[in-house]
Amino acid sequence: MTHPALYVDETLTFKVIHTQQPPTPEDGELLIETHFSGANPADIKHATVLGIYPTVLGYDFCGKVVQTASDNSAFQPGDIVAGYTPTGIGRKAKYGAHQRHMVCPEDLAFKVPSNLPKHHAATLSVVVMTAADALYNFFGFPLPSLDEDEGKGKVASPLLIWGASSSVGLAAVQFARASGVYPIYVTASAERHPLLLELGATQCFNYKSPTVVEDIKTALRESQQELKHAFDTVGSNNSAKLMADCTSPSNDTILISVVFQDDPRFKMPFAAPGQDVTIELPGTPGRITIPARPEDYQHARNAFLWAIENYGVKFEMPMVKVFEESAEALKQLRALAGLGSGFGKIVLRHPLR
């Protein structure tokens, strides 16, 4: 029996292939029967922008452990686990999440608790770890508090999250609330403002408004505070520039974007800071290796595990859409990497048809 998998080949052609034999896990790895895989813009963009191809697409997953390759593994066959897989040039096809059987290093997986639905578990690792790297490693905010009232106002410095209804943005808003950041300013389309206020935003601004930058500056003047923490979760040149225009022209202002920006003031968070990652950027000679930050990885993972433990009560992804047909799934990935696929996270149910 063969199963569909989503693949990018050596010519950068994205297509559906069919796999037969399950891959073989090496020491410290798990063989997973994939139940759900989460879609991210990186599934396409890591190939087209960072040179990570050929490979099976996908990073986020939830599934059942079929085989462990270590005698002292913390996991057992039959465990329901979720997580994400390594990236970088030379990435092995066995790490692709958009296939029926895949392999994941044990240290990138976690057992799915009863409070976390499996299809939601498959959406979390990449976006939540990216948000955690930004807030807890680059901004240096305190880790989430178990008591929100006790934590509120712990960080009395404004935070601006541009594009807060994106998946990374939703995670960042909820982390900021749990860490006592105040005030939390966000931009999003007007229809998302009620949800963002419910999740912890202090004040919302319509990014479509021609006066959005001046509106944010007015709010800052009224609060008599300077904006020194700003996070662009959209990742376009325009969103990054507009956000930067709202901030204080200070050496200690920290600007973050989810993609590389030409502006040297910007830092880029990473979902997997625990590993060296080799990439190739358009227009630059040779390859670049982003060095691992092991301590930052553990710091971000502590926040991530807090989100898992508190899922459904203090943290959530408000909408998850499920697709099962392979051609439609590939279409959804392309949309996600382009203009977006609308509000909510997308997961693929396996085996794909």
Q: pLDDT per position in the chain (353 positions), as tens?
A: 789 999 999 999 999 999 889 999 999 999 999 999 999 999 999 999 899 999 999 999 999 999 998 888 999 999 999 999 999 999 999 999 999 999 999 999 999 999 999 999 999 999 999 999 999 999 999 999 756 555 556 787 899 999 999 999 999 999 999 999 999 999 999 999 999 999 999 999 999 999 999 999 999 999 888 999 999 998 877 899 999 999 988 778 999 999 888 888 999 999 999 999 999 987 788 899 999 999 999 999 999 999 999 999 999 999 999 999 998 888 889 888 875 556 789 999 999 98
Pick from 101, 120, 121, 117: nearest CA to 109:
121
Supply the pTM of this predicted model. 0.94
Which amino acid is it at 275? Q
Give me the residue label for tokens 């971000």.
300
The whole-angstrom separation of Cα 63 and Cα 34 is 4
From the candidate CATH numbers 2.40.30.10, 3.40.50.720, 1.20.58.220, 3.30.450.40, the one assigned to the domain spanning 127-290: 3.40.50.720
Tokens standing for residue 106: 């044990």
CATH fit for domain 3-124+317-349, picks 3.30.450.40, 3.10.580.10, 3.40.50.2300, 3.90.180.10: 3.90.180.10
Q: Are 18 and 61 in contact (CB under 8 A)?
A: no
In the chain, domain spans = 3-124+317-349, 127-290
Residue type, 281: L
Spatial CA neighbour of 105 closest among 69, 54, 129, 57 = 69
